[in-house]
A and B are shown apart, each in its own frame.
Chain A
């Protein structure tokens, strides 16, 4: 379970997280929503130790990762996979080498086993015969699928998604949403998804948390969010420019 307690983070004078508390349930998909530049990606990066908070705790299965050294943090990171916004595939490697990277890094699997595992992970995201392609030869949707195949290569417990449908056409966005749902269900993953795509969040989220001004102001099931009377949530879900969310 991921538990964030009283998290504070600033960049210069800008306060991004301001005493944020959030519990992420095991085996469920939690979607974190909020306006662009509101700190959602910063929050995600805290969960995997890419950023350290100024104050507060990040508990992963009871271990506070803010206090860990690099070696201990790496052990915790092996529980995670992450799909980056632009997939972050290594562009000097082929698709196959990208997916094989964590396997070569952390297991003693033989080359044949690695090749089979890579083909299996790619198949599970709907791709076959792309192992020898370079990332630059792939479309945006394919890159994200390869990114997901790499994220689940080591069969992690938790997968983080940073705006998985941003920049995709509606059909491809729907395909990625389906993939997230299926992957979560098949592997019984704990998923944390950052998104501001309102259609997607109700489709994939078991729970939805609204981040506003550095705090989680609402956290509930999709039904609870739909029935919310919070003016910030209402304005965000309606996509209205009238309301408490200031447009700069």
Chain B
């Protein structure tokens, strides 16, 4: 009985801690919104973060997108061949990339690359008193550090998703047409027949939501770091794990609402 109540106690504490953390992240989001529209606007900071989140993630996103499209074409081909519907490979690759895999995989890659860096950078600033220095100089850290990163996340993840969608379809085309011998015209025609503009649009809206989630969680974890170098490591790991889980869970609900 004691063991049972102990386990229940731990579960209750974990749930409460989770709810409290979610509340703090929402409060941070509200604070970001409040500071986002307050001048002066430090465009230089925003562009710097956009370059970091966006431009510097292109290579990894191209790589992920291309190989995902390629493997989808390969798997799809073997499945569709069973009932002689190989021509559908192009459409399914495009549909899968634009609706689902483009936004989700891009967000997960950006989380690993940029979300972790946000947590590590802000965490280091916290433990080396640089964030305290901002407060002392009457400068708001949310405006200076978090707003540019969140804007960069929301704007750049959809743009990277466009790159991922495109390279994924291109990879699928290469495998489908040049390796598996599907007719090029049929491959492309099935893409235009199956993929609606709304599929692409909704995928990009999802990507923007994921960009918000990964940047907000990365910044929240970094901003609330404590405990020196060990704390920075912990914050970085927690940011990647929490943001990845949040992206996958929210993906289900966003998909249920949109499609």
Taking beta carbons and an 8 Å cutoff, which residues of A are in contact with B?
A: 45, 48-50, 70, 74-75, 77-78, 80-82, 84-86, 88-92, 101-102, 105-106
Contacts and interface: CB of A to CB of B under 8 A. Distances in A.
A90 B137 contact: no
Contacts of B135: 48-50, 77
A105 B130 contact: no
Given A92-B121, A105-B137, 17 more contacts: A50-B132, A77-B137, A82-B133, A82-B136, A84-B133, A85-B129, A86-B128, A88-B129, A88-B132, A91-B124, A91-B128, A91-B130, A101-B139, A102-B137, A105-B138, A105-B139, A106-B138
15 contacts: A48-B135, A48-B136, A49-B135, A70-B140, A77-B137, A77-B138, A80-B136, A81-B136, A82-B136, A84-B129, A84-B132, A91-B130, A101-B139, A105-B139, A106-B138
Interface residues of B, number: 14
A74 B140 CA distance: 9
A90 B140 CA distance: 14
Nearest to B135: A50
Nearest to B48: A92
Among all A-B residue pairs, the 4 with the closest Cβ atoms: A74-B138, A88-B129, A88-B133, A77-B138
Contacts of B124: 91
B133 A90 contact: yes
Contacts of B132: 45, 50, 84, 88
A154 to B, nearest CB: 8
A114 B132 CA distance: 23
Nearest to B132: A50
A102 B144 CA distance: 13
Interface string B122-166: 001100111011011111100000000000000000000000000
A84 B135 CA distance: 12
A165 B133 CA distance: 18
B34 to A, nearest CB: 11
A50 B136 contact: yes
Contacts of B129: 84-86, 88
B130 A101 contact: no
A78 B136 CA distance: 8
Contacts of A75: 138
A161 to B, nearest CB: 12
A74 B141 CA distance: 12
B133 A78 contact: no
Contacts of B128: 86, 88, 91
Nearest to B124: A91
A120 B131 CA distance: 26
